[in-house]
Amino acid sequence: MKTTILFRTLTLLAISLSAVLCQGQPNLTLITATASGNWSDPNTWTGGIVPGVSNSVDIEGGIEVMVDTNITVGKIGGYGVVTMVTNSTLILLYDPMIDTTITLNATASNNTVIYTGNPYYAMPCDYYNLVLANTNWTPPISPYAKPWEDFNNFADNDVSTATPMTIYGNMSVLGWIKVQEANVAGVPIIINGNLTIGPGCGWDCSSGTLIVNSNLYLGGWLEDLDSANGTNYIGGNLVITGPSTALNSFNGYTNGWYLGDGTNWVVGGSLTNDGAVYGISYGAFFLNGTGSIGGSNTLTVPTLTINGSYTVADSIVLTTNNANLNGTLIFDLANTNTITLVPYPGAGTTQTNYYGGNLVVIDTGAAPIGGQTYKLFNAAHYTGVFASETFPTLPTGLNWVNDLLLNGSLVVGGTPGNPLITLSRSGNQLTLSWDSADFPGYSVVAQTNRGLGTVWNSTGSGTTSPYSVTINPANPGVYYRLYHQ
């Protein structure tokens, strides 16, 4: 699938960076900017040497250097200005990668800044594309000492300092990184493109608000532990990959989407769970757009609200509350999944599933047969009513038995009938008719009156009524019947 290819590509990026960088920090040669200008211009630098992999750079106040190409450099210090131009790339290798006294302008279209060291030293500012890939940094060993205990924050800010950021393109977190939003009172980090959280990485937005206006690809860990700081938002699809079991790290886990007590998440696209989803108490998410709830693993969460139009393509287990069904819920009989409400401890069997919104049942597989039961909801009790209910058309003789309020099921009742053939004559024209609308696929076959046998021959009637034949008294008598291929 596409998400697998995406994570494979990001892994190859991390490996390629690691192969160059993880040999440890070398002795870097310092090069100073002597005039404002382009990075690629020798006239910008001392001795006419354009800085590269083996250099650290000093840019003093009053000097602005334009990154006008793809640059890889050890580190940048000073009090000047670094400005990214369109389609440029800046890779910073060694800690401290960039001084907080530098002004970094990185919002030009399609530019990319990549930090390969401790994200503690990443500059808290706006970017177009931002990559945190600590391929040149080894996580500390407990007990931690400064700056290692703050490795998960941007630059030297702690979580009590507001650092609102906007990423105008995409952001990727690779390697072994935990991002803790250093915000207060719900001040957001806004990502207009995609956010990719790679395997082994975590994102904690407990102290702020995360807004991703496109897709979020989660191969690591995502959590919010503080409901007081606002609702997090994913405008596109949320794709959860990686192992479906929890491992110790990052507050107990290395992968999965964790819904803390009372925290709220809004998803505007589809939700695909090929990994792990956890939640406690009243952690909830809202599906407000159009898409599907799918994936290879059962989705187990405290509660959810469906305000948009969603196809249930995965089994859903709610551990605290019923689903708030305000939008349109779509079930496909060809792949029926169930929404199950599990009583929380102490509730006994009092949990009730409340119906609401619109129910649409479709069938992309074989036609239902009499006696089939489709379990859509599973709870101790059922109440409420859907504003509208739409079911697929059944063959003649069958009907839908709506047991949603009884046991959360739909049952196919009745017995399918057979089409009847009728005839009429006008002169020497014999016309055979049948209900080809309700009984599609039937055609007229025939044999002579020499004795009914097992061989019936096609008349070329087609499958649309009526069929006319010319009577010839000189011919033997003919028997006609309807046949379904």
Chain-centre distance of CA 415, in angstroms? 42
Residues 454 and 402 in one domain: no
Residue 180 belongs to domain spanning: 2-412
> How many domains are contained in the chain?
2
Residues 288 and 331 in one domain: yes
Q: Is residue 319 part of a domain?
A: yes
Residues 121 and 238 in one domain: yes
Q: What confidence tier does 184 reach under pLDDT thresholds 50, 70, 90?
A: low
Residues 354 and 439 in one domain: no
Per-residue pLDDT, 254: 61
Q: Is residue 146 part of a domain?
A: yes
CA distance 158 to 165: 15
Q: Name the one residue in this structure whose structure tokens are 């053939």.
A: 421
Q: What confidence tier does 129 reach under pLDDT thresholds 50, 70, 90?
A: very high
Q: Give percent of the chain with pLDDT exceeding 90.
A: 51
Per-residue pLDDT, 306: 96
CB 104 within 8 A of CB 98: yes
Considering only CA atoms, which of 64, 111, 71, 72 is closest in space to residue 88?
Answer: 111
Q: Give percent of the chain with pLDDT exceeding 70.
A: 83
Residues 382 and 438 in one domain: no
Per-residue pLDDT, 408: 96
Q: What confidence tier does 389 reach under pLDDT thresholds 50, 70, 90?
A: very high
Per-residue pLDDT, 23: 42
Between 15 and 355, where is the model more confident? 355
Per-residue pLDDT, 182: 61
Per-residue pLDDT, 126: 93
Q: Is residue 434 part of a domain?
A: yes
**What is the residue-wise DSSP string for 10-22?**
HHHHHHHHHHHHT
Per-residue pLDDT, 248: 40
- Cα distances from 428 to residues 340, 420, 448, 474, 480, in angstroms, run 65, 23, 18, 12, 17
Per-residue pLDDT, 137: 58
Tokens of 273: 């769970």
CB 52 within 8 A of CB 30: no
CATH code, domain carrying 435: 2.60.40
Per-residue pLDDT, 419: 81
- pLDDT digits over 81-92, tens only? 999 999 999 999
Per-residue pLDDT, 102: 96
Per-residue pLDDT, 270: 98
- pLDDT digits over 409-425, tens only? 999 987 777 788 888 98
- pLDDT digits over 265-304, tens only? 999 999 999 998 888 888 889 999 999 999 999 998 888 9
Per-residue pLDDT, 151: 52
Between 440 and 13, where is the model more confident? 440
Residues 106 and 254 in one domain: yes
Chain-centre distance of CA 412, in angstroms? 34
Residues 381 and 475 in one domain: no
Q: Residue 189 pLDDT > 60, yes or no? A: yes
CB 63 within 8 A of CB 33: yes
Q: Is residue 366 part of a domain?
A: yes
Compute and round to an integer the Cα radius of gyration of the chain: 33
The pLDDT of 330-356, averaged and rounded, is 83
Q: Is residue 417 part of a domain?
A: no
Per-residue pLDDT, 22: 42
Considering only CA atoms, which of 199, 277, 294 is closest in space to residue 9?
Answer: 199
Cβ-based neighbours of 250, under 8 Å, separated by 6 or more = 178, 202, 204, 220, 221, 223
Tokens of 237: 């699809």
* Mean confidence (pLDDT) of the chain: 85
Between 196 and 442, where is the model more confident? 196
Q: What confidence tier does 138 reach under pLDDT thresholds 50, 70, 90?
A: low
Q: What confidence tier does 209 reach under pLDDT thresholds 50, 70, 90?
A: confident
Residues 115 and 202 in one domain: yes
Q: What confidence tier does 116 reach under pLDDT thresholds 50, 70, 90?
A: very high
Q: What confidence tier does 46 reach under pLDDT thresholds 50, 70, 90?
A: very high
Q: Residue 16 pLDDT > 60, yes or no? A: no
Write down the pTM of the prediction: 0.80
CA distance 471 to 467: 13
In terms of average pLDDT, the best of 190-194, 258-262, 342-346 is: 190-194
CA distance 420 to 322: 48
Picking from 354, 386, 412, the residue at the C-terminal end of a domain is 412
CA distance 446 to 421: 13
Residues 322 and 364 in one domain: yes
CA distance 412 to 159: 58
- pLDDT digits over 432-454, tens only? 998 888 778 889 998 886 666 77
In terms of DSSP bridges, do strands 409-414 and 195-197 run parallel, antiparallel, or are they unpaired? unpaired
Per-residue pLDDT, 291: 97
Cα atoms in the Cβ-side hemisphere of radius 13 Å centred on 408? 20
Picking from 360, 381, 412, the residue at the C-terminal end of a domain is 412
Cα atoms in the Cβ-side hemisphere of radius 13 Å centred on 38? 9
Q: What confidence tier does 346 reach under pLDDT thresholds 50, 70, 90?
A: low
Q: Is residue 50 part of a domain?
A: yes
Q: What confidence tier does 31 reach under pLDDT thresholds 50, 70, 90?
A: very high
Q: What confidence tier does 211 reach under pLDDT thresholds 50, 70, 90?
A: very high
Picking from 364, 386, 412, the residue at the C-terminal end of a domain is 412
Per-residue pLDDT, 147: 46
Per-residue pLDDT, 326: 96
Cβ-based neighbours of 20, under 8 Å, separated by 6 or more = 53
Q: What confidence tier does 26 reach under pLDDT thresholds 50, 70, 90?
A: confident
Residues 441 and 391 in one domain: no
Q: Is residue 123 part of a domain?
A: yes
Residues 320 and 387 in one domain: yes
Q: Residue 12 pLDDT > 50, yes or no? A: no
Furthest CA-CA distance within the chain? 113
Residues 165 and 287 in one domain: yes
Q: Is residue 430 part of a domain?
A: yes
- pLDDT digits over 316-328, tens only? 999 888 889 999 9
The pLDDT of 189-202, averaged and rounded, is 91
